[in-house]
Chain A
Amino acid sequence: DTAVSQTPKYLVTQMGNDKSIKCEQNLGHDTMYWYKQDSKKFLKIMFSYNNKELIINETVPNRFSPKSPDKAHLNLHINSLELGDSAVYFCASTRTSRETQYFGPGTRLLVL
Chain B
Amino acid sequence: SQQGEEDPQALSIQEGENATMNCSYKTSINNLQWYRQNSGRGLVHLILIRSNEREKHSGRLRVTLDTSKKSSSLLITASRAADTASYFCATASSGNTPLVFGKGTRLSVIA
A106, CB-defined interface residue at 8 Å: yes
Contact assessment for B98 and A56 in the assembled complex, using a CB-CB cutoff below 8 Å: yes
Could you tell me which residues of chain A, from 87 to 107, have a CB within 8 Å of some CB in chain B? 90, 92, 97-106
Bound together, the chains give a CA A43 to CA B90 distance in angstroms of: 10
B residues less than 8 Å from A86 (CB atoms): none
Q: Which of A41, A48, A98 contacts B104 (CB 8 A)?
A: A41
How many A-B residue contacts, CB cutoff 8 Å?
Answer: 62
Could you tell me which residues of chain B, from 84 to 104, have a CB within 8 Å of some CB in chain A? 86, 88, 90, 92-93, 95-101, 103-104
Number of interface residues of B (CB under 8 A): 28
Bound together, the chains give a CA A63 to CA B36 distance in angstroms of: 31
A15, CB-defined interface residue at 8 Å: no
Could you tell me which residues of chain B, from 32 to 50, have a CB within 8 Å of some CB in chain A? 33, 35, 37, 40-45, 48
Contact assessment for B31 and A98 in the assembled complex, using a CB-CB cutoff below 8 Å: yes
A11, CB-defined interface residue at 8 Å: no
Contact assessment for A41 and B45 in the assembled complex, using a CB-CB cutoff below 8 Å: no
B residues less than 8 Å from A50 (CB atoms): 96
Could you tell me which residues of chain A, from 44 to 92, have a CB within 8 Å of some CB in chain B? 45, 48, 50, 55-56, 90, 92
Closest to B37 in A: A41
B27, CB-defined interface residue at 8 Å: no
B residues apposed to A, CB below 8 Å: 2, 30-31, 33, 35, 37, 40-45, 48, 86, 88, 90, 92-93, 95-101, 103-104, 106
